[in-house]
Structure 1
């Protein structure tokens, strides 16, 4: 279990470091990649998930996502006793990954006056606040993610190649479904960095939008759980 927890911690750290890093490069003032756009963000997140999973997959299942862990527990391949330890490791990794993004980009955080852009480098938020629509968006995105992961397991794909397929799936979800809420589709990816945003001494910082924060935590869990249940019914 100890090695598995290290794997989940390191993998999620890398996922958030690279994923939030691409967002920071896009949104913060004075970076070479400022304004590169949504396509670069979605590709960056796909790469971040792929590399995080490849860096940790020999130590752990490389879920890197509490919603995925819960879904695999429902599906039966992950013991329920692992859910809380995995989730804690994933949350800690996500938190530290976000802190390292702040360290990397600190001079750019210091000169960025747009407080919402600063928050956006840490956590997701909808373009239009609508509780029902935002919840459905995160639920649907995570349903597609989890159903895809389970479907890939039905093919005779080398482990490394299947991980790359998941990265491509992340890019697809981002391009097709992510434009409404920023597609957290991962409670740790959103909540860990949001806590870091609340704690770090960032200039021009606004509130951490805690009123919205429950949606990218609960909706992905529901979406992944539904995917596991539906997949189990049809298989």
Structure 2
């Protein structure tokens, strides 16, 4: 169960900090409203850093991401018997983390009555800058491939300063490749918060855009599998 709890709490910290940044940037009645892409990419990088530290301390390998877990397991870099507890921890942790953000920002949601005032699912999950399903999918495949292939060459990334290196990797992937789709890289990071926004009582909620949700699910999974496949033959 240490794998489950590590992934649960690590992913919850990741989402509280990352989605919390999204709420601060988007919701109109917030001091952080309107900050730029550098701010967002750096915040997500640091969110991953501290999520990995928490997960590692609690006994997991700090994946926080089904694309990492499945990409590693499919090619022998992670045991299959650990996969289900890791996935459950990741998706549940992401949902709970999003619920915490809803509580934190409830008054801001309440006064932000429309998507133009920032009350929209983009706080919680990703969306494309240009709607093009094929290229949106490829963007997520490429960004996740670069991320996970690099992870595979970092060794144990829960130790020492390596979680900070992982966070810097997330930041640069966001800056270099994330502007097309918002760089989900992680099905749990997208689907857990998207579900929370859909079913929890968020004031003035708008559409959760589930028609797009297949992209941040299957694009990262494909990218993770491609990274694992390449690493296995090198």
What is the TM-score with the length of structure 1 in the denominator?
A: 0.94
Question: Does 1:146 find its partner at 2:148?
Answer: yes
Cα pair 1:54 1:160 within 8 Å, conserved: no
Cα pair 1:13 1:94 within 8 Å, conserved: yes
Q: CA offsets per residue over residues 163-199 of structure 1, 9 Å max, x none?
A: 1111100000000111111000000000000000101
Q: CA offsets per residue over residues 100-129 of structure 1, 9 Å max, x none?
A: 001001111111133374211111111111
Which runs of no fewer than 5 residues in structure 1 stay unpaired?
none
Residue 198 of structure 1: aligned partner: 198
Distance in 2 of aligned mates of 1:176 and 1:114: 31
1:26-45 aligned at under 5 Å gives the runs: 26-45=25-44
Residue 136 of structure 2: aligned partner: 134
What is the TM-score with the length of structure 2 in the denominator?
A: 0.95
Distance in 1 of aligned mates of 2:129 and 2:203: 23
Cα pair 2:52 2:158 within 8 Å, conserved: no
Which stretch has the larger CA shift, 195-204 or 86-95?
195-204
Structure 1 runs (4+) greater than 3 angstroms displaced:
none
Residue 53 of structure 1: how far off its partner (Å): 0.4
Distance in 1 of aligned mates of 2:166 and 2:75: 18
Secondary structure of residue in 1 paired with 2:126: coil
RMSD (Å) for aligned C-alpha atoms: 1.5
